[in-house]
């Protein structure tokens, strides 16, 4: 079957390889040779779009112009792919400036579609970034979590981006996930923080808990997520990671802690329980998430650039 051209209508639930090929061909045909085979892809989380500001020779594409891409609808997620050269070694890199979320109403296949297109373009390393709330009190706002593992609540309940017919051209039916977050890349992340003289403890390894959103957690849900082992909680990254690992892309997960999640019991109306009343915990909101992103944007930029400089094979 010939690959469809970019002006055809695409069904991104269609698992045929031709849909991914069409998107990759569309991009490749419009990129200069120094950029058309990026080695690294970076997905920018909420308020972290400025990560792409450091690249040179930038070429951008609006998501709506790329075959198979859906649109980004969340404030703080601009909705474009930016290709460019990053760091002292001028590594060809592609940034997703704005990601797709499950809660926007997109399917898991739609939100992870770009990852397979990156694979077709030659990407070997994916850096997923995002905003998270801290469940664990070992984390504070402004710290950067280095993901060691994840718990996918939607995945355990039957929502996995690999559901349905397997596309064996990308990877096996049953991919392991116990090695999802690359050890060497995590070591490099800590080396980069050290090189940049970030205060000790700015980076900390964390278990990322993926929830569907868009409502933030109740206190009881937050206590549950903490009990099952989650350090941080967010509404993204995990579907992208699963699809990346399925097709053999190495992954580094960096999350900016944008808020503390309320985990206390809250105020008790029952007079018999009054003694248990804890401190009032503030309500979280997306503006706070974006504000933390803005305040920490420069450090996140420097960290990502230095990590890429320190990766030996790039």
Ligand X SMILES: O=P(O)(O)O[C@@H]1C[C@H](O)[C@@H](CO)O1
Q: Which residues bind ligand X (CB under 6 A)?
A: 45-46, 74, 99, 101, 130-131, 213, 234-236, 286, 289
- Residue of 213, 221, 224, 291 interacting with ligand GUN (CB under 6 A): 213
Pick the catalytic residue: 23, 24, 189, 235? 235
Asked whether the beta carbons of 292 and 131 are under 8 A apart, the reply is yes
Look-up of token digits 């995990």? 238
| Of 233 and 303, CB closest to ligand GUN | 233
Q: Does 261 bind ligand GUN (CB under 6 A)?
A: yes
Asked whether the beta carbons of 27 and 51 are under 8 A apart, the reply is no
Q: Does 48 bind ligand GUN (CB under 6 A)?
A: no
| Of 91 and 254, CB closest to ligand X | 254
* SS3 assignment, position 208: strand
135: DSSP letter:
-
What distances in angstroms separate CA 51 from CA 82, 207, 254, 294, one per listed residue? Answer: 11, 23, 12, 11
Element (H, E) at 128: strand 125-134
- Residue of 76, 133, 145, 155 interacting with ligand GUN (CB under 6 A): 133
- Reference 8, options 60, 96, 67, 64; nearest CA is 67
| Of 93 and 255, CB closest to ligand GUN | 255
Sequence-ordered strand ranges (E) for 9-168: 40-44, 56-62, 80-86, 91-97, 125-134, 144-152
Query: Interface with ligand GUN by CB under 6 A: which residues?
Result: 131-133, 211, 213, 216-217, 233-235, 258-259, 261, 284, 289
Residues forming the annotated binding site for phosphate? Answer: 46, 77, 99-101, 131, 236
- Positions marked catalytic: 46, 77, 101, 103-104, 131, 235-236, 259, 286
Residues forming the annotated binding site for a purine D-ribonucleoside? Answer: 217, 259
């Amino acid at each position: 079957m010939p690959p469809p051209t970019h002006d055809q209508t695409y069904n991104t639930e269609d698992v045929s390889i031709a849909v991914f090929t069409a998107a990759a061909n569309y991009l490749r045909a419009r990129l200069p040779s120094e950029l058309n085979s990026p080695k690294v892809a970076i997905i920018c989380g909420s308020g972290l779009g400025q990560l792409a500001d450091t690249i040179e020779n930038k070429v951008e594409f609006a998501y709506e112009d790329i075959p198979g891409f859906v649109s980004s609808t969340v404030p703080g997620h601009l909705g474009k792919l930016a290709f460019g050269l990053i760091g002292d070694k001028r590594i060809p890199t592609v940034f997703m400036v704005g990601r797709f979320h499950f809660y926007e109403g997109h399917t898991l296949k739609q939100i992870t579609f770009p990852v397979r297109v990156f694979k077709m373009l030659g990407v070997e390393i994916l850096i997923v970034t995002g905003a998270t709330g801290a469940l664990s009190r070992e984390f504070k706002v402004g710290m950067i979590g280095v993901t060691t593992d994840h718990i996918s609540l939607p995945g355990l309940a039957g929502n996995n981006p690999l559901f349905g017919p397997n596309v064996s051209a990308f990877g096996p039916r049953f991919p392991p996930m116990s090695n999802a977050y690359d050890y060497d890349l995590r070591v490099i992340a800590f080396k980069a923080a050290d090189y940049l003289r970030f205060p000790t403890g700015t980076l900390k390894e964390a278990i990322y808990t993926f929830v569907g959103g868009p409502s933030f957690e109740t206190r009881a849900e937050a206590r549950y997520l903490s009990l099952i082992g989650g350090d941080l909680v967010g509404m993204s990254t995990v579907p992208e990671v699963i699809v990346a690992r399925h097709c053999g892309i190495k992954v580094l997960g960096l999350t900016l802690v944008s808020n503390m999640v309320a985990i206390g019991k809250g105020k008790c109306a029952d007079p018999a329980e009054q003694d248990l009343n804890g401190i009032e915990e503030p309500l979280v909101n997306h503006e706070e998430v974006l504000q933390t992103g803005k305040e920490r944007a420069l450090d996140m930029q420097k960290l990502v650039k230095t990590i890429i400089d320190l990766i030996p094979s790039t």
